[in-house]
Amino acid sequence: MSTVDLQALPAREPAYDRARALRHVRRIHRIRTLGLALGGLCVASVLSLRGVSAWWWVALALHALIWPHVATAISRRSADPRRAEARNLMLESALGGMWVAVMQFNLLPSVLLVTMLSVDKVGARNLSLLARSTALLAAGCALTSAALGFPVRIETPMSVIVACLPFLVAYPLTISSVMIRLARKVTRQNRRLEELGRTDGLTGLGNRRLCLAVAQAELARHARSGRPAVLIVLDVDRFKDINDRYGHPVGDDVLCGIATVLRECTRAIDTPARYGGDEFLIVMPEADLAGAEEVARRVRKRLAALAFPGAPDLACTVSIGAAEADPGMQNVDAWVRAADSALYRAKAAGRDGFVAAGAAEGVAA
């Protein structure tokens, strides 16, 4: 009889999540219950031909019908449910070897039992667990066979074949469906992790990694086709003073408010992102400096009307610099430096303004 090991059970991670481990135990309980019931049917079909004592029938009933629930209770009460499940699997392997010997190596159910006891470990790619469980299976089989006098009757009559069919069909399909669901879950989690790796946790905008990747793609497109693109750098004026006076929660509200304004004031093809600290970037494909100036005007207008519940007297302003993509720019760093240089000129001109790279003075948007 068999159960399934869908994850590397013996490994205990540093950040051990007991709730996650208990979910794993519940998942195994459902599969173990099915596997042992169907495996028990295979063994029972052979025992009915051998005329074994009533004690073997009692042992089979305990193993096939009672043990799944006992094993789950043991794991749930354990300080380390995953290690408890690993021990349960070891015991089940030894008992599986015992039943192979009791069946006197009847060919189909014996092969089926050994295969199902191994396939779950192979599916989980836990070769260490597979090696140990196989050794215990062999030991259980050898000791039981020796105790019974090494009886061997490998022929499999039709009644046993029929009894093995549910185990042969239903159990692998069940394991496959569970592993498919787990694979889909892992895929969703990986996508989520990738998304988190490209998203700023506070504002929900793209992060530095994302905006630089988009800027690199736009710079390469400009070099190929000559199509225009603009990079805007935006910095909150006197942000340190805001944090010092109103506290960091209000500072966070300011950053989130700016993020909302940037989303509302840019086009669907633009990429607003938090570059770091109180600095934001906007990558604008198919735009020139006049388009960047219009966006800057809308942003500053919206920010002037922005209210913060934690600081009703706070007026948030920003300084904005912009630079067009240029064939002479070797990389994104050069593009960012050009926009950043315009930003510092806007700050030097008194803040709360817009400067385009190459312009002689700040231009109020």
Give per-10-residue mean pLDDT for the chain (365 aa).
44 56 84 90 92 92 94 89 87 93 94 84 67 91 94 93 91 80 74 70 90 91 91 94 92 94 94 93 94 95 89 91 91 94 93 80 38
Task: Specify if 202 maps to a domain.
Answer: no
Please give the pLDDT value at position 7. 42
Task: Specify if 203 maps to a domain.
Answer: no
Task: Specify if 364 maps to a domain.
Answer: no
Contact between residue 263 and residue 348 where contact means Cβ atoms under 8 Å apart: no
Domain boundary among 134, 161, 196: 196
Task: Specify if 361 maps to a domain.
Answer: no
* Structure tokens belonging to residue 99: 């039943």
Based on the fold, state whether residues 80 and 189 are members of the same structural domain: yes
Based on the fold, state whether residues 184 and 218 are members of the same structural domain: no
Q: Looking at the 3D structure of the chain, how many domains does it have?
A: 2
Question: Which DSSP letter does residue 322 get?
Answer: E
Based on the fold, state whether residues 311 and 185 are members of the same structural domain: no
Based on the fold, state whether residues 106 and 242 are members of the same structural domain: no
Catalytic residue, from 200, 278, 340, 352: name it.
278
Q: Give the type of residue at 4.
A: V
Task: Specify if 270 maps to a domain.
Answer: yes
Would you call 36 helix, strand, or coil by DSSP? helix
Domain boundary among 169, 196, 223: 196
Pairing of strands 229-236, 271-276: unpaired
Pairing of strands 229-236, 279-285: antiparallel
Would you give the distance in Å from CA 193 to the centre of its chain? 6
- Name the E strands within 62-213: none
Domain with 118 in it: 18-196
Based on the fold, state whether residues 167 and 250 are members of the same structural domain: no
Task: Specify if 363 maps to a domain.
Answer: no
Based on the fold, state whether residues 261 and 283 are members of the same structural domain: yes
Q: What CATH number should be reported for the domain holding residue 234?
A: 3.30.70.270
* Structure tokens belonging to residue 347: 């700050």
Q: Is-above-0.75 flag for pTM?
A: no
Based on the fold, state whether residues 267 and 308 are members of the same structural domain: yes
Task: Specify if 176 maps to a domain.
Answer: yes
Based on the fold, state whether residues 309 and 233 are members of the same structural domain: yes
Based on the fold, state whether residues 89 and 157 are members of the same structural domain: yes
Domain boundary among 196, 230, 247: 196
Based on the fold, state whether residues 168 and 289 are members of the same structural domain: no
278 included as an active-site residue: yes
Would you call 251 helix, strand, or coil by DSSP? helix
Task: Specify if 10 maps to a domain.
Answer: no
